[in-house]
Amino acid sequence: MSLKIDLVYNLTYEWQTSARGNVHVKGYVFTKEGRLLRGIDFLNYCSEVTDENSLREKIFSCTGTYTIILHVGDDLFIVTDAVRTFPVFYTQEENTFHVSDSCEVLKKKYGSGIDTRAEGEFLGFGYCIREKTLLKNVFQVQAGEFLKYSVSDKKLEKTFYTDYLTKEVFLAPTFSELQSTLVNILEKLVDRMMLYIGKKQVVLPLSGGYDSRLIACLLKSRGVENVICFTYGAQYSPEVLISKKVAKELGYKWHFIEYTQEVIPKDYTSSLAFERYHSYAANYSSVFLLQDFFAIKELKEKNIISEDSIIIPGHSGDFLAGSHLSKFDENNKDRSKTIERIFAKHCILDRKTKLTPSHLNYIKNVDCNYEYAVDDNWGLKERQAKFIVNSVRVYEYFGFEHYLPLWDRSLEEFFKSVPVNYKINTVLYNQTIFEKYFNLFNVSFYKVEKNKTSLKTKAKNILRRLVPAEAVGVLKEVRRKDINRTNLVKRPLLLEMKKEDRSSDKINSVISAWYINKIKTID
């Protein structure tokens, strides 16, 4: 059995390889002493590994964004960070264990065809579940996974060295004590962020939500002034109005990219930039983010942001804090209901998709006494890693570094043990960031809550029962405002697929269907 490692993607973050060719690293880490290791320093740190135990020791003693590939003695190790920021794939074919950061490389080498079961998952979820990809016999290293391959025995072992499964809950601390702990964690992760960004310009995708606003406040609290905020979409979007107001209060430059036909050309799907981007970002495993593509392209081409800027998105403080949980999750003790919840919340792009027996058994066999944490863990390892965090591909494609402060391991570990009643409606998180940061900087603006049942909504529900379904559909079309201008993004994709342009189609449903159609056409 031979080993083959093909690492071809060096967009923004480059692979560092040892002189002997047995160590490959991408990304950076902060050691427990607080040192930032990147580039050659990170490579040397990993080159000190002598066996599995020393590798695990190094991983557990640091936090960061990384993928590590290490060949020591008879064993090959592959380790990804908690959210698989830099995806890696593998296959075992023709007496060779082959690793690459490009599924296309493995496909061309071994002629792997489309996995129809994975295709169904991709259309429903927007990503391939667990270790699957859209290619037969080509697999992905999962978020927080520690993979060990014994060359002589041809044996593959896979374990998760980190997860989001609650083992125990904080019992003694009061709400105020938890708030103090959270603020302390936030301040320490800002210390690390400051060390990373140095004197470079920070670019902040500032929405109307709380995560990106928190990052803006944290930067302001440390006196960082070289910050450019941006928002895109339509002028009448509540996101745009709140974003502008926040940036103004903080004294940060703010740019609005209005999505028009000029910014999003009708023929963008035929451009070389789009072709290269979707191939890089999807990689036969995840839906590629397209909404930000045009904004980042505009900012770069008009020289609004510096070439060495660092983009800091707000992924994903609200998720860690419990934004996806409800009272049902707090009281649920039934694993079958947990499975139903996971499926209902995450399989939203195509409702015809069904979870396979292997996936059902996987969720059934998760060893955890807290059902909401089983949901949490799925959300992190699947949607957050493969859908939300994978969106950073757009920054890399245009040559910009990214930094994800709210995915610091300390914050993840903290919220993993917070009592669930403080996570529902993100009570602890929201109250803390408002009291300690938003109020301080006069940016205590509430975002538009999608789930609140207003008097207007109640009235609409009554009318829906009284008015024929066809008429309701027409009224919805007339009244709907496409605040993110996703129709401009969808139409060229739908046109290429020769499908009807329906405003009810979710943008990511269209992208996933287009991508499947594209790779099948190529095949």
Domains, the chain, ranges and CATH?
2-160 (3.60.20), 175-320+381-438 (3.40.50.620), 455-522 (no CATH)
Kindly tell me if the per-residue pLDDT of 463 is higher than 50.
no
**Burial (CB count within 10 angstroms: exposed 0-12, middle 13-18, buried 19+), residue 358:** exposed
Residue pLDDT, tens place only, 283-296: 999 999 999 999 99
For residues 198 and 224, what is the distance between their CA atoms, to the nearest angstrom?
A: 10
Q: Are 8 and 109 in contact (CB under 8 A)?
A: no
Residue 446 dihedral angles phi and psi, to the nearest 5°: -85, 140
Q: What is the pLDDT of residue 217?
A: 98
Res. 452 pLDDT band, cuts 50 70 90: very low
Q: What is the pLDDT of residue 34?
A: 94
Q: Is the dihedral of CA 398, 402, 406, 410 positive or negative?
A: positive
Residue pLDDT, tens place only, 29-46: 999 999 999 999 999 999
Whole-model pTM: value is 0.92
Weakest mean pLDDT among 113-122, 184-193, 448-457: 448-457
Kindly tell me if the per-residue pLDDT of 455 is higher than 90.
no
Q: Is the dihedral of CA 492, 493, 494, 497 positive or negative?
A: positive
Mean pLDDT across the chain, nearest whole number? 91
Give the whole-number percent of the chain exceeding pLDDT 90: 81
The SS3 assignment for 157 reads strand
Q: What is the pLDDT of residue 131?
A: 96
Res. 467 pLDDT band, cuts 50 70 90: very low
The kind and range of the H/E element at 36 are strand 36-38
For residues 268 and 293, what is the distance between their CA atoms, to the nearest angstrom?
A: 11
Q: What is the pLDDT of residue 523?
A: 65
Q: What is the pLDDT of residue 456?
A: 47
Q: What is the pLDDT of residue 471?
A: 42
Residue pLDDT, tens place only, 116-173: 999 999 999 999 999 999 999 999 999 999 999 999 889 999 999 999 999 999 888 8
Closest CA to 293 of 285, 301, 304: 301
Rounded-to-10 torsion of CA 386, 392, 398, 402: -150
Calculate mean pLDDT across residues 173-201. Answer: 97
Weakest mean pLDDT among 348-357, 440-449, 460-469, 514-523: 460-469
The SS3 assignment for 303 reads coil
Res. 472 pLDDT band, cuts 50 70 90: very low
Higher pLDDT, 519 or 360: 519
Residue pLDDT, tens place only, 366-381: 999 999 999 999 999 9
DSSP 8-class letter at 269: G
Q: What is the pLDDT of residue 473?
A: 41
For residues 450 and 268, what is the distance between their CA atoms, to the nearest angstrom?
A: 32
The token pair at 40 is 């050659």
Q: b/e map of 109-142 (b: 16 or more CB within 10 Å)?
A: bbebebbebbbbbbbbbbbbbebbbbbbebbbbb
Kindly tell me if the per-residue pLDDT of 495 is higher than 80.
yes
Q: What is the pLDDT of residue 481?
A: 64
For residues 316 and 411, what is the distance between their CA atoms, to the nearest angstrom?
A: 10
Kindly tell me if the per-residue pLDDT of 468 is higher than 60.
no
Higher pLDDT, 236 or 322: 322
